[in-house]
Amino acid sequence: MIYFDHAATTRVLPEAAQAAMKTMTEDYGNPSSLYQLGVQAAKRMGEHREQVARALGCQGEEVYFTSGGTEGDNWAVALAVHLGRHKGRHIITTAIEHAAVLQPCKELERQGYEVTYLHPDASGRVRVEDLEAALRPDTVLVSMMLVNNETGALQPVAQAAQLLRRKQSAALLHTDAVQGFLKIPFTPKGLGVDLLTISGHKIGAMKGSGALYLRKGLRAVPLVRGGGQERGLRSGTEATPQIAALAAAASLGRERMEEHTAALTDLKAYALETFQRGVPGLAVVSPGDAPHICAISLPGYPSQVVVRWLSDRGFCVSSGSACHRGKASHVYAAMHLSKGVRDGVLRISFGPENTRQEVDQLAQALLEATRDLVPARG
């Protein structure tokens, strides 16, 4: 199989797998236990937290381990509205967020909150001017993803933070940085955010791992109550193997980020040129600002059909977020693409192991798909 769906998930790095295995078979103590094996596990947890914090560019005390991006996003939204409960009931987010943000917002609407959804332009980017027009005195949360998971488009998070400061808004700013972490350079402080979400399985760690950055000084409330783990905010025995793998992957990603970013940027540019030159009728929906994601379309050829056709020939690509499970993408709908282009969108996302030869093979397969498949009518 030739894998071009790294935005969906990544292969676990050998170093991350080794870290998890060592934790499961040697350093397997419960970090809350008082005997030596438990004390050692707690020490390792502290080391892992500092590794993730260094990769993020923040303090260890600002990092809270989670089960992944969905939990982190849910927690951030819930925490922000709780902290702002005496200030207002208005939320601003974008129409192109991951479902892990959109669904909690929709639930809050059912509870009486008002949510403004900012729509992107044709490039897939939201405008700070639209955020400024939507901002109100009773806005308690602005949630804007850093890199869109279906287009690779970079969103103006830092500019949003500057706007909130200029307007002296009480709203907290959250960003889902799952697709940006270790792909583009940033720090939470540099972005100016209060809350930030990352996920382990997008960077070569295990599924079921992630972290939420909580700016120092926020008066957080517990997500899960119980034994008081994660400094009382997320109770439950820590998933130490997943955390060890996350720390290992984050450290390696930090070391290799410059090299990988340059390689991915070059490969994506080559791929877009090759696709456009070699596949008549192919449209570039988004070249992507992030180095690893782009969106193309074969207008007239339904993406789900093309994805299955490519799969039968050994290629892994997607028609959008894996979380859609075959349903129409809300991201491409929000971009107001024509029906033919929208129905034919394919997301191509690259990893460090991909090669130009594989790109050439995919381009040839796309060309053959347009010859073998019958285009849809209308």
Residues carrying an active site annotation = 323
Burial class (CB in 10 A: 0-12, 13-18, 19+), 301: buried
Q: What is the DSSP letter of 224?
A: B
CA-based nearest residue to 183, from 294, 76, 270, 91: 294
Q: One-letter amino acid identity for 235?
A: S
Across-strand partners of 349?
5, 293
DSSP label of 172: E
Q: How far apart are CA 117 and CA 94, in angstroms?
A: 5
Alpha-helical segments (H) within 84-194: 99-110, 128-134, 157-166, 188-191
| Rounded Cα gap, residues 149 and 177, in angstroms | 10
**Token duo for residue 252:** 């390696």
Q: In whole angstroms, how far apart are CA 318 and each of 7, 57, 113, 148, 222?
A: 9, 32, 34, 15, 36
Reference 257, options 290, 294, 208, 301; nearest CA is 290
Q: Is 197 helix (H, G, I), strand (E, B) or coil?
A: strand
CA 367 to chain centroid, in Å, comes to 30
